[in-house]
Every structure is written in structure tokens, then in C-alpha cells.
């Protein structure tokens, strides 16, 4: 091995350690039989038990699940349309509206939606306002994934379908949709993860009353840290990990599909 | 024939409308309109009990502050404290960007020069921790930097050996920096890797044949070619750091306030909506100029490489 590679490897090892040690500590302490996050005092599952007996936490988890499912459904439908439209037509306004929320600091979207909901819609903040806010920022992510999938595809497939007499709707349902489906599902999973994890935008668009998971975690961290936070964190990490694995499998198969199709085509 | 074309044109327009209409409408209502409302709000008077004063003086009300005013902006520019907080936020964002660059570059270079079959896994390993909940990633550092943690004890033991007093790591500017870097590091690795992966290795071989040292090969070939990646990574780190309030809020002390915290307080603390909106507009302008600068630098970097 070359000398420069050894140097690179050690620098990279430090960065990987920096990335993983903090999360590993959270997971380890979630099994620690001590109220303090200081030293190891033996194995316990009591923090998980406490978590499952915490009514407010369970309600928060249920609320967050409802929000994430609704927002990812809305964002997937609208984001797929946006991705298709941006890929197929020369549009000026839509790309700006779709991609800007992805690029700008979240706090700006949170603040402007807060003002909009309270002033214009006169909406009582709650689940509905959070779902709308999450849909708004997830659309861009779905559109990016769907568009990337379309860019890798051979346009002649769609022309062939049209030449063979398929209507637009048939072309979409029988050709386009099956081809972009992996990207659509990956986009849906990504929206779900983004929504269930989102703190900043939720913080500004939440109402009083219904507990929401990230807000609940924030309160626990700010007010009184108990190892229950470690337990809920570990469970959330597990959930995200599963989502990521499914999404990357789909995107991977999407990519290899595209390649094999190009090779045979 | 012409008739068929016309029919097809019409169909095309209908299809375009059906596909682009719904997302366009949704985003006009829930993104464009709220942004305009925010601009409008920044020019209004604050209400007596938070919120806003009415735009039009209500019938029979005592003459007061109604209508539009640049007061919020005047207030911003009249108090040096706010300029200082903006300046500090820019400083933190610049420092975070630089540290992320120093940490991300070797890693991105290693991934780009690894065998193809390992690359995806190595990239996934960078993204994976980033996918865990944002608050959890910040909270993890509360444990590590906490006064009773092994890390704190070790740091203070080392400092003690040099005769320096014990320091508190948590709730300090140091903790804020660590949190900022930790949360944003993947944003730097990914664009750098995407750029470095495309480099033609024959350039480096040619330089080696011509007697260039390892440092010369890096500084004269790899680095200038990677500048577009550096600038897009820098923008991806700099911009979110500029608006971040959760990291200083959780890991910082009372003095570690950045733009984001200032904005948050106007809406959920003191409830001065016009001033909060004006601050948000200033942040937007800052973000736009940073994004513009990064694009310009990246373009000119590509241009100069092509000239060579």
C-alpha cells in the first residue's frame, strides 16, 4: 500500500469514529442501569419499559406516525408529479418553488408558515398545520429522486408506447409508473423519515395540546434528561436504519435496472 | 395532418397542466404565499399583546400605529447588538465550513480512490448517522461533553497537568462548534466525493512521470480540479448553519445566541412578529448572497481549469 493511502486511511478512520462514537454511546447508555449518563452500572431494559408505560410518549409516537404517513403520502403524489413535469417540460416557476425549500434554512420555512397559518388561514395550529408544513418541504426531495430516475432512462420507451397506440394515461400507468416506481417508493420512505425526524419546522407549526415525538424529545433534553431519551433515541435509530436499508435497496435496484436496460437497449 | 397536430398540441397542453398544476398550486399556496406574507409582516406594527396591529385602523379606535412601517428594519440597523449576532453567525458558519472541509476532504479522497465495489458502502457509512434523528445527534454530545463524562474528566486531567483550571465543555461555544460540525459533516463529504470520483487518474500518473512530488500532485492537480466540489459543499454547510437555532439552543450557553435563536425568540418568546420577520428577511438575503457567491466561485473555478 502506498504511503499516502495509509495517511488517508488514518484520517478517514478518525472521521468515521467521530461520526459513530456519539451514537454508539447513546445506544449503550439506553441499556445502562443508572440514572446518570456517566458510567456503566450494569445491563437493564427498564428504560424501555418506562418508555412503553409513558402514555404521553406513546401518544406522541402515534401522532408523529400519523403526520409522517399523511405528509409522505401527499409529498409522494405531488413530488412525483413535480419530478415528471420538471423532467418533461421546460418550466420556469415550478423548479424554483420545488427546490428552494430543500436548499434554504428550515427556520425560514417554519416562520413563514407559522405567520401564514395564523394570519391568513386563521388555522388553529396542530396536526393539520404540521402535515401541510412537512408535505411542503418533502415535495422537493421526492421530485429530486424521481427526476434523477427519469434522467437515467431511455426516452424512446415512451415514444414506442405512444406509437403502438397507447393513450397518455395508459403510457403512464403501464410504462412510466412501473419504471419510476422504485424511485417513487424511495421518495416516500425518505419523506417518511424526514417527517418523523423533523424538529425545526415542527417546532414552529405545532400547536398546544397534541404531543409530537421530536418536540417531546426536545422537552426531555432541555428540561430533565433521563435515560428514557436514550431508549427512544435507540428505537428511532433502528426505525430509520430499516427505512434507509429498504430505500437504498430500491434505489440500488433502480440504478442497476436502468443500467441493464441501457445495455440491452 | 394539421388537424391531428392541433389535437396533439391540445392534448399536450392538457397533460402538462394536469401534471404540473397540482404541485404548482400547492407550492404557490404553501410556499410562495407564506414567503410574501413574511415580507409583508416585516413592514407591519407589532400588536399590543404580541402578534400584529391591524393594517387598517378599526372604526372608533384611538389613533395608534396602523398600516406599514420600516420600523423593524430601522430597529435592526440602529442596534449594534444585532449586527454583532449576524457577524458571529457568519463566523460560526465559516469556522464550521472550514472544519468540515478539513475533516471531509481526506475521507472523500479515500472513498474516491478506493475500489469501485467498496465506494457505495463507504458513502453509505457517512450518510447513515446523518439519518438518525437530528435532536439525538445533538443530544449525544450532551452526554460526551457533560461534566461527569469520561471525556470531560480526561480533558480536565490533561489541563490540570499543565496547571490549568478545570473547564466546562458543555454549554460553551466549543460545544456549539462540535455540534455544528457533527450535524453538517455529511453535507461536505458527499459533493466532494462526487467531484473527486470523476477525476482522471492519468493526470496524476503523468505528473508523477514528470517528477512531481505527492504534495505538488495534490496542490497543482487534485485540489484545483476539486474546487467546484469544495464550493458546493461549502454552500451546503454554510447555509444551514447560518439559520440553525437548535444546536446553540441545546449545547450552547446563554451567550451563544445566533441568528436562528434571535428569530425563534421573536416568535415564541417576546412575540415581536414584525421584527422576527425582518430578521428572517435579512437571513434570506444573507443565504441568497452566499449561494450566489458559491455558484460564482464554482463557475469561475471550472472556467480557470478549462483554460489551463
pLDDT at residue B156, rounded to an integer: 82
CATH for A53-264 (1.10.3720.10, 3.40.50.2300, 1.25.40.10, 1.10.150.530): 1.10.3720.10
State phi, psi for A32 to the nearest 5 degrees.
-90, 135
Q: Is the pLDDT of residue A157 over 90?
A: no
What pLDDT is attached to residue A260? 43
Whether chain B has a CB inside 8 Å of the CB on A26: the answer is yes
Under-50 pLDDT residues of chain B: 1, 307-308
Does the distance separating the beta carbons of B133 and A236 come in below 8 Å? yes
In this prediction, residue A252 carries a pLDDT of 61
Nearest CB to A22: which of B24, B144, B277? B144
- State the DSSP code for A32: B
Number of structural domains chain B divides into: 1
- pTM of the entire predicted model: 0.84
Q: Which of B126, B130, B143, B252 to mutate to test the interface with A (most CBs of A within 10 A)?
A: B143
State the burial class of residue B164 (Cβ atoms within 10 Å of its Cβ: 0-12, 13-18, 19+): exposed
Domain presence at residue B245 = yes
Contact flag B41-A168 (C-beta cutoff 8 Å): no
B73 or A250: whose pLDDT is higher?
B73
CATH number of the domain to which B90 belongs: 1.10.3720.10
CB burial string B136-147: b at 16+ within 10 A, e below: bbbbbbbbbbbe
The per-residue pLDDT for B131 is 72
Q: pLDDT at position B191, please?
A: 87
Within 8 A of A108 by CB-CB distance, chain B residues are 38, 243, 280, 283-284, 287
Q: pLDDT tens for residues B33-54?
A: 999 999 988 888 877 666 677 6
The pLDDT value recorded for residue A70 is: 94
Measured distance CA(A187)–CA(A76) in Å, rounded: 6
Is A4 a residue whose pLDDT tops 70? no
Find the closest chain A residue to B16 by CA distance: A85
pLDDT in tens, B251-273: 887 778 889 998 998 888 777 88
pLDDT confidence of residue B59: 61
Asked if A85's CB is within 8 angstroms of B135's CB, the reply is no
Q: Which residues of chain A have a CB within 8 Å of the CB of B129? A: 19-20, 23
B288: containing domain: 79-307
State whether residue B38 sits within 8 Å of chain A by CB: yes
CB A130 within 8 A of CB A114: no
Closest-CA residue of chain A to B19:
A81
What is the reported pLDDT for B233?
87
To the nearest whole Å, the CA of A264 is away from the closest chain B CA by 23
A101-105: long-range contacts (C-beta < 8 A, 24 or more apart)?
Answer: A101/A136, A101/A137, A101/A139, A101/A140, A101/B27, A101/B31, A102/A137, A102/A140, A102/A141, A102/A144, A103/B239, A103/B291, A104/B239, A104/B243, A104/B284, A104/B287, A105/B239, A105/B240, A105/B242, A105/B243, A105/B244, A105/B260, A105/B283, A105/B287
Mean pLDDT of A48-63: 85
Q: Does B33 fall in a domain?
A: no
Nearest to B274 by CA among B79, B116, B51, B90: B51
- Cβ–Cβ gap A116/B128 under 8 Å: no
pLDDT at residue A259 in the model: 40
* Contact by Cβ (8 Å): A114, A204: yes
Q: Residue window 183-202, chain B: list those with CB within 8 Å of chain A.
A: 185
% of chain A residues with pLDDT over 90: 17
| pLDDT tens readout for residues A118-144 | 888 777 788 888 999 999 999 988 998
Interface test with B, best of A12, A117, A146, A214 (most B CBs within 10 A): A12
For B242, the grid coordinates are 447560518
Q: Is A40 helix (H, G, I), strand (E, B) or coil?
A: coil
Amino acid at each position: 500500500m502506498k504511503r499516502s493511502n495509509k495517511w488517508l486511511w488514518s484520517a478517514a478512520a478518525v472521521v468515521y469514529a467521530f461520526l459513530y462514537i456519539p451514537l454508539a454511546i447513546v445506544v449503550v447508555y439506553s441499556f445502562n442501569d443508572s440514572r446518570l449518563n456517566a458510567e456503566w452500572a450494569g445491563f437493564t431494559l427498564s428504560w424501555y419499559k418506562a418508555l412503553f408505560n409513558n402514555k404521553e410518549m406513546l401518544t406522541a409516537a402515534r401522532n408523529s406516525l400519523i403526520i409522517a404517513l399523511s405528509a409522505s403520502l401527499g409529498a409522494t403524489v405531488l413530488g412525483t408529479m413535480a419530478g415528471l413535469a420538471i423532467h418533461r417540460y421546460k418550466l420556469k416557476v415550478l423548479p424554483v418553488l420545488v427546490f428552494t425549500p430543500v436548499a434554504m434554512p428550515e427556520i425560514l420555512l417554519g416562520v413563514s408558515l407559522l405567520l401564514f397559518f395564523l394570519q391568513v388561514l386563521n388555522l388553529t395550529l396542530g396536526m393539520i398545520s404540521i402535515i401541510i408544513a412537512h408535505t411542503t418541504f418533502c415535495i422537493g426531495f421526492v421530485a429530486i429522486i424521481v427526476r434523477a430516475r427519469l434522467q437515467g432512462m431511455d426516452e424512446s420507451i415512451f415514444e414506442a408506447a405512444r406509437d403502438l397506440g397507447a393513450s397518455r394515461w395508459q403510457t403512464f400507468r403501464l410504462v412510466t409508473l412501473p419504471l419510476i416506481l422504485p424511485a417513487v417508493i424511495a421518495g416516500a420512505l425518505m419523506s417518511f423519515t424526514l417527517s418523523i425526524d423533523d424538529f425545526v419546522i415542527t417546532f414552529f407549526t405545532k400547536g398546544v395540546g397534541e404531543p409530537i415525538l421530536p418536540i417531546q424529545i426536545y422537552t426531555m433534553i432541555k428540561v430533565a434528561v433521563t435515560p428514557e431519551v436514550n431508549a427512544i433515541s435507540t428505537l428511532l435509530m433502528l426505525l430509520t436504519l430499516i427505512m434507509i436499508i429498504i430505500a437504498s435497496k430500491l434505489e440500488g435496484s433502480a440504478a442497476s435496472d436502468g443500467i441493464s436496460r441501457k445495455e440491452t437497449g | 395532418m394539421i388537424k391531428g397536430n392541433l389535437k396533439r398540441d391540445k392534448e399536450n397542453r392538457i397533460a402538462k397542466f394536469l401534471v404540473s398544476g397540482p404541485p404548482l398550486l400547492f407550492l404557490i399556496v404553501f410556499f410562495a404565499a407564506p414567503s410574501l406574507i413574511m415580507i409583508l409582516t416585516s413592514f407591519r406594527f407589532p400588536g399590543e399583546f404580541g402578534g400584529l396591529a391591524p393594517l387598517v385602523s378599526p372604526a372608533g379606535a384611538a389613533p395608534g400605529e396602523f398600516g406599514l412601517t420600516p420600523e423593524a428594519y430601522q430597529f435592526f440597523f440602529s442596534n449594534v447588538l444585532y449586527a454583532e449576532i449576524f457577524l458571529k453567525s457568519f463566523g460560526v458558519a465559516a469556522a464550521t465550513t472550514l472544519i468540515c472541509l478539513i475533516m471531509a476532504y481526506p475521507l472523500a479522497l479515500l472513498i474516491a480512490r478506493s475500489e469501485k465495489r467498496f465506494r457505495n458502502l463507504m458513502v453509505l457509512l457517512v450518510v447513515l448517522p446523518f439519518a438518525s434523528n437530528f435532536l439525538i445527534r445533538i443530544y449525544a454530545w450532551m452526554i460526551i461533553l457533560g461534566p461527569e463524562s469520561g471525556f470531560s474528566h480526561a480533558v480536565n486531567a490533561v489541563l490540570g497537568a499543565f496547571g490549568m483550571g478545570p473547564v466546562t465543555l458543555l454549554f460553551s461555544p466549543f460545544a456549539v462548534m462540535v455540534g455544528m460540525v457533527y450535524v453538517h459533516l455529511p453535507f461536505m463529504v458527499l459533493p466532494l466525493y462526487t467531484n473527486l470520483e470523476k477525476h482522471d487518474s492519468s493526470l496524476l500518473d503523468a505528473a508523477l512521470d514528470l517528477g512531481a512530488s505527492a504534495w505538488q500532485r495534490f496542490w497543482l492537480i487534485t485540489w484545483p480540479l476539486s474546487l467546484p466540489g469544495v464550493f458546493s459543499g461549502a454552500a451546503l454547510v454554510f447555509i444551514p448553519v447560518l439559520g440553525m437555532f437548535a444546536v446553540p439552543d441545546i449545547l450552547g450557553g446563554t451567550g451563544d445566541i445566533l441568528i436562528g435563536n434571535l428569530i425563534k425568540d421573536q416568535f415564541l418568546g417576546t412575540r415581536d412578529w414584525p421584527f422576527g420577520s425582518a430578521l428572517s428577511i435579512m437571513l434570506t438575503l444573507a443565504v441568497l448572497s452566499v449561494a450566489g457567491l458559491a455558484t460564482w466561485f464554482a463557475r469561475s473555478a471550472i472556467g480557470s481549469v478549462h483554460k489551463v
